[in-house]
Amino acid sequence: MVEPQDVLSPIEPEQIILGKHILVLLVALEPVEPSSSLVSQQLLFSGFLLEVNDTWFWVSSGHMVTDLQALLSCGYKIDRTRFFDLGLKWKQGFTTGFDLDKVSYLDDRTNGMDYAVFPLLNIVRENIVAGGSAPIPADCVVNHLSSSEHYFAAGAPLLGAATDLQLDATKFAIIVLKLKRLEDVEKDGFPRLRFDTRESQVKVGNESLKSLVGLSGSPIFAVNGDFREYGLIAIQSAQLEGGVFALACPARPLVDLLEAHLRGES
């Protein structure tokens, strides 16, 4: 479990403490053929920082990769990418070194395996540290069978369509959702964690959050006490019934795979 060092805000301590691990990826897409009927697009992907054996990764959902691949196969190309953190020290984001071919991923949502990991370059790590963000250490990733007092998800739903290609941080907000854990769903021995989002009264501007779209890839934290300790338990994967219920993949199996890979065992 992580023991936060931050001074707690009396208003939203969860956003300060958990938000420092969030790193949002914005991807600008352009048509390969400018004369085609395709239009420029921006996509936003929630994700977070994870440290395994001194290697830093950006982690998100596996289907973010297959979604991008589908668009590239339809005549798009990746024009630019930017990372944004909660502190927004870099108002226009900062360099990612993002290369889709270097993202390792699993997209088997039927069986609850929906992961993507991208190793971060040193220059990206320097920007992350300068902005005040930090990765979740591998030893702070908890087993999904453990129980905690509270559960929270943290990510960035898109606020409307961003079409001006400015990759501007004002187009989204990083939020924290309080969750109620429900009975897990298990298929072929692989569990999916299920959560009810209705306990969270989140507003973005003057509007209530109506959908979990954009939150896939968000970390879900297990929290005890007044945030005296917390750990990563799952990764948001899907929404059910109009965003009322969230389905998530346990995080510990992903860390186990990464540790084995870094030891040269896979």
Instruction: Quick: pLDDT tens for 16-75.
Output: 788 889 888 888 899 999 877 898 888 888 999 999 999 999 999 999 999 999 999 999
Strands of 23-31's sheet, edge to edge? 41-45, 23-31, 76-85
Per the model's pLDDT, the better-predicted residue between 85 and 41 turns out to be 41
Instruction: Tell me if the pTM is above 0.95.
Output: no
Q: What is the predicted pLDDT for the residue at 243?
A: 61
- What the block records as the tokens of 20 is 């420092």
Summarised one tens digit per residue, pLDDT across range 141-155 is 998 888 888 888 888
SS3 66: helix
Query: Is the per-residue pLDDT at 231 higher than 70?
Result: yes
Summarised one tens digit per residue, pLDDT across range 125-134 is 888 888 788 9
Summarised one tens digit per residue, pLDDT across range 152-208 is 888 876 554 444 444 454 556 677 888 888 888 776 666 788 888 876 666 555 555
Rg (CA), the chain: 18
- What the block records as the tokens of 238 is 């899907």
Kind plus residue range of the DSSP H or E element containing 124: helix 122-130
Q: What is the predicted pLDDT for the residue at 234?
A: 93
Strands of 136-137's sheet, edge to edge? 104-108, 113-119, 55-60, 48-52, 136-137
d(CA 178, CA 138): 23
